[in-house]
Amino acid sequence: MNKAEERAIINKIVAGDTNSYRLIVDALKDRIAAVCMSMLKNETWAEEVGQDTFVRLYNALPKFKGDSNLSTYATRIAINLCKNKLDSVNRRRNRFLVQTDSHNTVPSSQESTQKKLENQELINLALDVLKPEERSVVVLRLMEGYSIKETAEIIGIKEGTVMSKLSRAIKKMQTVLDDLK
């Protein structure tokens, strides 16, 4: 879908032709699925966040001026919703850890299963140590192949910040892998 076609569809949707939105969802859903799955590593959450992304995008269409690509705009919404989801999951997890600490429960060791881990699982494990914003930089730049400029635009930070966050995130992830050896 080129930019002119995209604009024409948006105009139709804003004028009340809700059904045309199906075209936008079909065109963008694979990209959003990739971002949500890479960020969340959980199919149920990814599907949930993916749906929320498209509902929010629909509500934001009347205000969308076309300064950026619609796909970039949708990815930005998805990344923000994924970060919110990760924050809420981490908060819940921390609460749980505090409760289990008081009962002297030792977290299960990951070392015993180290040899069975496949590449994807290793990546998931390494991604787990990152903060939501660092994770979004790694997912967009290294896993989804966005350029530094696009990554900066989607997350809403400067290109230099993307690069520094990326190098910090890679160091953290590498430490996790080295510890597993």
Partner 1 sequence: MEIKDLLKENEHRTYRFADGFTNSVMERIASSTPILVMWQKRAIQIAAACAILVCAFLQTIEGSISLDAMLGISSYNDAEISATENLYNLWDQIEIN
Minimum CB separation of residue 179 from partner 1 in Å reads: 12
Stretch that binds partner 1, among 31-39, 93-101, 104-112, 155-163 (CB under 8 A): 31-39
55 binds partner 1 (CB under 8 A): yes
C-alpha distances in Å from residue 156, one per residue of 58, 98, 105, 161: 21, 33, 40, 10
Q: Which of 27, 38, 21, 115 has its CA nearest to residue 79?
A: 38
3-state secondary structure 31-66: HHHHHHHHHHCCHHHHHHHHHHHHHHHHHHHHHCCC
Applying CB under 8 A, the span of 66-74, 95-103, 115-123, 129-137 interacting with partner 1 comes to 115-123
Q: Which of 42, 58, 64, 161 binds partner 1 (CB under 8 A)?
A: 58
27/33 Cα distance (integer angstroms): 12
For the CB of residue 22, give the shortest distance to partner 1 in the complex, in Å.
Answer: 6
Residue 110 CB neighbours (<10 A): 13
CB of residue 26 vs partner 1: minimum separation in angstroms? 6
Q: Please report, as residue ranges, which positions from 121 to 150 form the binding site for partner 1 (by CB under 8 A).
A: 122-123, 126, 138, 142-143, 145
Helix (H), strand (E), coil (C) string for 134-176: HHHHHHHHHHCCCCHHHHHHHHCCCHHHHHHHHHHHHHHHHHH
Does residue 114 touch partner 1 according to CB under 8 A?
no
Enclosing H/E stretch for 72: helix 70-102
Between 33 and 157, name the residue whose CB sits nearer to partner 1.
33
Is 103 a binding residue for partner 1 by CB under 8 A? The answer is no
Site stretch for partner 1 (CB under 8 A), options 51-59, 72-80, 146-154, 157-165: 51-59
Residues that bind partner 1 (CB under 8 A): 18-19, 21-22, 25-26, 29-30, 32-34, 36-38, 46-47, 50-51, 54-55, 58-59, 119-120, 122-123, 126, 138, 142-143, 145, 170, 173-174, 177, 181
